[in-house]
Chains A and B, each alone.
Chain A
Amino acid sequence: MSRPRTGRARTAFEMGLREYARTPVLLALLVFLPAYFVGVLVFLLPESSVPVEVAGRGTVAVPSSELYGILLVPLVSGLVGGVAGLFLMLAARSADGRLVVAGYRPVELLVARVGLLAVAGAVAAVVSLGVLSVEVVPERLGWFALASVLAGVTYGLVGTLAGLVLSRLAGVYLLLFAPMVDVFFFQNPMVSDPHWLAAYLPGHFATEVAVDAGLSASVALEPLGWAVAYLATVGVVTAVAYYRTMRIG
């Protein structure tokens, strides 16, 4: 008798988690690097005020350390999620092909892989948030954490997609560059008239929610809905690419 689908997806997810747990260097880096990145920057960032656009508050002056602290958490989640998604897919692609031959459905494997990405994104977000909280506490902590994890999972799926279509070197190039330019430059709330391209980038809606939740007491639900819709769209594109790979494999 075949196992139910949820059971098989859970087994694949647990195996992935065990693989992470068997790599203590990776676990240590997933905790240490975000903490170091956010810790060093929050310590060094100047206190001088900069004008930013905040939903519900208009243009307000906030300390640079607070603004960049708030931007750093979704950025770190995006970096960790993206690189993790890329390598997860590069490592799993051939094994997943064999699992499909053995009876697994691609959707079960994809659910398990996305679950692992969510874990990586959540770990990066929680660690970054913990370090950030020493100096800067976001106004709406729960919404801020949710937005950061959304940024991590969205970039995780972008990384997964890159792992399906690009080589390791090309994928690392992409995932090193994209979150930094997207979150730090294109989504920076210091910009009052953003470039049209900013609205189409993976970090747009998640960063908008993170900035709102970090700097104001009101969080608009519309960008949150768009962030989820963007995630779903990238998820569908990734699923189609994944299915094609499994079919060919």
Chain B
Amino acid sequence: MPESANPATGAGRASRLRRLRVGVASHVRAFVRTPLNVALLVVLPVVVVEGYGTAMSAFPQLPHLAGGTMAETGRVNGAIYAAAFLAGILGLFQSISAVQADERLRICGYDRAELFASRLASVVLGSTLVAGVSTAALWRSVELAAPTAAFGALTLAALIYGLVGMLVGAVLPRALEGSLVLVFLVDLDDFLSSGLLDVESPVLKLLPLHYPHDLFQSATFEGSVATGDALLGAAYLGGVFLLALGVYVRVTGEGGVLA
């Protein structure tokens, strides 16, 4: 067996990095092999941002909403929704296609950390991309008070949902069932975190988009970074990461099925 295929024979750091790079490159190649997927990644955020903005411009001004006009609020919500759901679906399909293949790679000598890192790197790449596209789509029509902070908040939302998607895909590695779970999760979360409804409940703080949404709104309309929200959002991301890692380790040791 060549050294590069078996870390147990003493492959060094450079070899691990090379394998990681090869893994990420192959995931990216698999994705871009369908040009429609790439086109949708660029087009959909624009459609979602403009669709939300157009639909909400006809709404009466809601008294509990701070910030911009209803159209601007719609576009802001559209941007965060697009970043979260695109990253979530990417994470889900990445995980579904990975679980059994990675199980076989592990038998061939790859360790779990390398395999997880390669999947995670692909999801991070995809999440950063959709956050960037969503920020750009929003910036076309809404003046962003703090663009870098807004991009950071969208990246946080996308990363959290990318990991949630991976988690759903690992627990329920079936496309239809996993998609249904993610559809309802993203819609419920977006619906309640958007601020469109005057809801006061501690339950909202448990939703994945709660902190990224607050961060994004303050960055977009006020140009400020709410440190408390940023820290809590980062902690939430860390929690989801540990959960996704734990589940991944379990499934790659059990033939791709959560025991």
Task: State yes or no: do A and B come from one complex.
Answer: yes
A residues contacting B by CB (< 8 A) are 23, 25-26, 29-30, 33-34, 36-37, 40-41, 44-46, 48, 51, 64, 68, 79-80, 83-84, 87, 91, 166-170, 172-173, 175-177, 180-181, 184-186, 188, 190-195, 197-198
A29 and B54 contact, CB distance less than 8 A: no
Q: Specify which chain B residues have a CB less than 8 angstroms from the CB of A180 in the assembled complex.
A: 187, 190
Q: Does any Cβ of A come within 8 Å of B89's Cβ?
A: yes
Contacts of A79 in B (CB 8 A): 183-184, 187
Interface presence of B177 (CB below 8 A): yes
**A44 touching B201 by the CB < 8 A rule?**
yes
Interface membership of B141, Cβ < 8 A: no
Q: For the complex, what is the distance from the CA of A48 to the CA of B63, rounded to whole Å?
A: 12
Q: A26-B177, A44-B203 are in contact. Are A83 and B198 (CB under 8 A)?
A: no
A37 lies within 8 A of B187 (CB):
yes
| Contact flags B43-74 to A (C-beta < 8 A → 1, else 0) | 01001100110111111100000000000001
- Complex interface: chain B residues within 8 A of A167 (CB): 34, 36-37
With A46-B199, A176-B183, A176-B186 as known contacts, state yes or no: A191 contacts B51, CB within 8 Å: no
Residue of A whose beta carbon sits closest to that of B199: A44
Pairwise interchain contact B197-A194, C-beta atoms closer than 8 A: no
Inter-subunit contact B54/A197 (CB<8 Å): yes
Residue of A nearest to B77 (CB): A185
CB distance from B137 to the nearest CB of A (A): 14
* Option from A26, A40, A176 in Cβ contact (under 8 Å) with B176: A26
Residues of B within 8 A of A36 (CB): 184
Q: How far in angstroms is the closest Cβ of chain B from A143?
A: 25
Chain B positions within 8 Å of A87 at CB level = 175-176, 179
Q: Is B172 on the interface with A (CB-CB < 8 A)?
A: yes
Q: How many residues on B have C-beta within 8 angstroms of the other chain's C-beta atoms?
A: 45
By beta carbon, the residue of chain A nearest B90 is A169
Complex: how many Å from CA A98 to CA B51?
40
Instruction: State the 6 A-B residue pairs at the shortest beta-carbon distance, nearest first.
Output: A185-B55, A87-B176, A191-B58, A33-B184, A46-B198, A186-B55
Query: How long is the Cα–Cα vector from A186 to B78 in the complex, in angstroms?
Result: 14
Q: How far is the CB of B187 from chain A (nearest CB, A)?
A: 5
Max chain A Cβ within 10 angstroms of own Cβ: one of B183, B188, B200: B183
Q: A83 touching B37 by the CB < 8 A rule?
A: no
CB < 8 Å neighbour of A181 from B51, B89, B197: B51
Told that A46-B198, A87-B179, A185-B51 touch, could you supply 20 new A-B pairs with CB distance under 8 A? A25-B172, A25-B177, A26-B176, A29-B177, A29-B181, A34-B184, A36-B184, A37-B187, A64-B198, A87-B175, A87-B176, A169-B37, A169-B40, A173-B89, A176-B183, A177-B51, A180-B187, A185-B55, A191-B60, A195-B55
| In the assembled complex, B106 has its CB within 8 A of some CB on chain A | no
Are the CB atoms of A51 and B60 closer together than 8 Å? yes
Select from chain B the residue with minimum beta-carbon distance to A188. Answer: B59
CB distance from A58 to the nearest CB of B (A): 16
Whether B199 contacts A191 by the Cβ 8 Å rule is no
**Residue of chain A at shortest CB distance from B51:** A181
Assess whether A83 is in contact with B55, with CB atoms less than 8 Å apart: no
Q: Which residue of B lies closest to A45 (CB)?
A: B197
Please pick, from B34, B44, B187, the residue contacting A173 in the complex, using a CB distance under 8 A: B44
Q: Is the CB of A169 within 8 A of B187?
A: no
CB pair B58–A194 under 8 Å, yes or no, is: yes
Residues of A within 8 A of B74 (CB): 185
Chain A residues contacting B59 (CB-CB under 8 Å) are 188, 190-191
| Contacts A51-B60, A190-B60 given; does A25 touch B89 at CB 8 Å | no
Taking a contact as CB atoms under 8 Å apart, the answer to whether B191 and A195 are in contact is no
CB distance from B225 to the nearest CB of A (A): 28
**CA–CA, A17 to B90, complex, Å?**
30
Does residue B85 face the partner (Cβ distance < 8 Å to A)? yes
User: Which of A23, A25, A173, A184 interacts with B40 by CB under 8 Å?
Assistant: A173
CB distance from B42 to the nearest CB of A (A): 12
A170 and B187 form a contact (CB under 8 A): no
Whether B221 is near chain A, meaning CB under 8 Å from some CB there, is no
Is B216 interfacial (CB 8 A cutoff)? no
Q: Are B197 and A168 in contact (CB under 8 A)?
A: no
Cα A168 to Cα B198 in complex, Å, equals: 36
- Identify which of residues 145-181 in chain B touch chain A, using a CB-to-CB cut-off of 8 Å: 172, 174-177, 179-181
Query: Which residues of chain A are within 8 angstroms of B48 by Cβ–Cβ distance?
Result: 177, 181
B85 and A177 form a contact (CB under 8 A): yes
